Structure 1
Amino acid sequence: MFYVRNNMIYNILFLFNGWVVSFLYFLHPFFMELPTEIVNNETVILKTLPLSTWWPINIQKHYWIAYCWNVFDGTLGSSFVINSDILTFSLIVFALSQLKILSYRLRQFNYERKNIDNFRNCDAYFKETFLNLVKEHQKIIRYIDTFNQAMKYVMLFDFLQCSVQLATITLQLLVMEINAQNVFFVGEFMFTMIIRIVIYYFNANEVIFQSQALAMDLWQTNWYEQNAEVKKMMIFFMARAQRPLKFQIGPFGVMSLETFITILKATYSYMMLFINTSG
């Protein structure tokens, strides 16, 4: 399917860029200007690590041991973050794919009627078939409700930190020395962050759109030709489908392209606040 194929491409793109950012972060200490310290009237260059952590050993004497362990820790952390995001992408796309399948089956409902109109008990067949479609719709609703119950506060925290993180990354270009490695590292980090946010909020916005489109899909099937019982069921289905399915951000927001624009606006506001207060 279109969304599944696109999700695979987005996952590979995000995975690649996520590991590029991690690799650049591990190499960053070798390209930065190292601090110095006066010891016994001699200037000593202090080696730094990618991650600032406490060590029970002298990292200047055992630098490569500390560095390799630091890279190992960073690899585990990067793997957890990247794979968690990819899993969440897929959970959202799963709901979107199920909605597209249901949309297709609703549009095919009218063609099934033309094919079996001459059979006996066709009304009973259509009733059972449509009941199955209603059950599929209810399963999708329960799936999104379960996702929201488990993840809405996680997505709230993610929403709050996204704009701050984007602003912080952008501001690094204003305060750090401008050179090729710094620009490349910050640019790659920002590009990866934007990919991540676009995948989240574009797919979530598609769920809103596709869930509302179900009513129009059913409306175009000559539903008025059904018997009274099936017709009533279809009317109730169309009424329910007009209430969109949404992935929530905490108790007061939803994941949509409008929210994505809000994150970009907040990023700009944080940047301007920093520039005005520091200038």
Structure 2
Amino acid sequence: MCNEDGTSLILDLGTLIKYTNATNNKNIQAMFDFGLELWLPIDKNEHALTVTVINLVASPIGAATYAIVQMILLTMMTFPAIHFQVLCFRVKQLKGTMGQQTITDMLKNYIKQQKFLIKFTNTLNSAVRYVILMQFILLSLNVATVAVNATKAENTTEGVFWVLYIFILTIQTFSLSYTANNIMEKSYLVADALYQSEWYEFDENAKKLVRLMMMQAQRPLVLTIGPFNPLTTQTGLKIMNVAYSYVTLMTNVQ
């Protein structure tokens, strides 16, 4: 799982501690809780130290790869939000004293920028919506599973370990949902920015361009989770609610 790669260093640290304790107790277990599980053509019991070292070396590679992919995705999601914010700032600066021709030319340029950002966001959504769907499925499963494990912690150290893991998964969940939600909010703010400008001093041609920009700003510009709902901050909260419900159910069953 890609999310496990992102936390593999923490998981493997726990594995190393377990291995050390098991070695001291002369009781090496066949299974190890590695964040990045590898298949090796050797017996894990007989070569426990070798398996542990190989996984500890491979984990940073997996973690680095996952971090790079996440950074690229978040950067592409941040790009339209930032440019919409810049566009809003520029629109607010439109003054009637600039001259009607200047205002008209500037509005035409802003409309081109707005159309580009809309096209970019829609293209981005088409490219990554199923990636986001898979990401949130894995996040939901991981959060629920880790939360259940946290309730079964046998000591304080293990409890802190699982709580830290949940914290990392929570950051991953809300970093995506917040960034996607920011695109929607910033795109809507273009209409507010136009209203805050001195639009009432524009000529009819400029006012038509203002209305065109406002109409484009009214369309919901969102990233979706696959073919389903838009990705917003509420999505992250829903994942946490589902995880909490799952933990409650498993606790009651036990």
> What's the TM-score once normalised by structure 2's chain length?
0.86
**Alignment partner for residue 55 of structure 1, among 40, 44, 59?**
40
Q: How does 1:84-163 map to 2 (within 5 A)?
A: 84-110=69-95, 113-114=96-97, 116-117=98-99, 123-163=100-140
TM superposition shift of 1:45: 2.4
TM superposition shift of 1:50: 4.7
| Residue aligning to 2:236 | 260
| Residue aligning to 2:203 | 227
Check whether the contact 1:27–1:50 (CA below 8 A) recurs between aligned residues. Answer: no
Q: Assess, with a 3 A threshold, how the Cα gap between structure 1 residues 54 and 250 changes in structure 2: closer, same or farther.
A: closer
| Residue aligning to 2:151 | 174
Once structures 1 and 2 are overlaid, which stretch shifts more, 143-152 or 254-263? 254-263
| Residue aligning to 2:187 | 211
Q: Does 1:22 align with 2:8?
A: yes
Q: How does 1:61-76 map to 2 (within 5 A)?
A: 61-76=46-61
Of all paired residues, the percent bearing the same amino acid is: 23
TM superposition shift of 1:89: 1.7
Check whether the contact 2:187–2:217 (CA below 8 A) recurs between aligned residues. Answer: yes
2:101 alignment partner AA: A
Pairwise CA RMSD: 2.3
Q: Assess, with a 3 A threshold, how the Cα gap between structure 1 residues 44 and 82 changes in structure 2: closer, same or farther.
A: same
Once structures 1 and 2 are overlaid, which stretch shifts more, 61-70 or 72-81? 61-70
**Alignment partner for residue 216 of structure 2, among 240, 246, 261?**
240
Check whether the contact 2:28–2:48 (CA below 8 A) recurs between aligned residues. Answer: no
TM superposition shift of 1:186: 0.8
Partner of 1:67: helix, strand, or coil?
A: helix
TM superposition shift of 1:125: 2.5
2:13 alignment partner AA: L
Aligned partners of 2:76, 2:197: CA distance in 1, in Å?
A: 30
Aligned partners of 1:30, 1:240: CA distance in 2, in Å?
A: 55
Q: Assess, with a 3 A threshold, how the Cα gap between structure 1 residues 49 and 168 changes in structure 2: closer, same or farther.
A: closer
Check whether the contact 2:136–2:173 (CA below 8 A) recurs between aligned residues. Answer: no
Aligned partners of 2:227, 2:9: CA distance in 1, in Å?
A: 37
Q: Assess, with a 3 A threshold, how the Cα gap between structure 1 residues 61 and 163 changes in structure 2: closer, same or farther.
A: closer
Q: Where does structure 2 lack aligned partners over 5 or more consecutive residues?
A: none
TM superposition shift of 1:140: 0.7
1:75 alignment partner AA: P
TM superposition shift of 1:49: 4.3
Once structures 1 and 2 are overlaid, which stretch shifts more, 211-220 or 63-72? 63-72
Q: Assess, with a 3 A threshold, how the Cα gap between structure 1 residues 58 and 166 changes in structure 2: closer, same or farther.
A: closer
| Residue aligning to 1:192 | 168
TM superposition shift of 1:206: 2.0
Partner of 2:93: helix, strand, or coil?
A: helix
TM superposition shift of 1:147: 0.8
Q: Assess, with a 3 A threshold, how the Cα gap between structure 1 residues 50 and 73 changes in structure 2: closer, same or farther.
A: farther
Question: How many residues were matched structurally?
Answer: 244
TM superposition shift of 1:126: 2.1
TM superposition shift of 1:184: 2.1
Q: Rg bigger for which structure?
A: 1
Aligned partners of 1:24, 1:179: CA distance in 2, in Å?
A: 16
| Residue aligning to 1:7 | none
Q: Assess, with a 3 A threshold, how the Cα gap between structure 1 residues 80 and 226 changes in structure 2: closer, same or farther.
A: same
- Structure with greater strand percent: 1
**Alignment partner for residue 46 of structure 1, among 17, 28, 34?**
28
2:230 alignment partner AA: V
> What's the TM-score once normalised by structure 1's chain length?
0.79
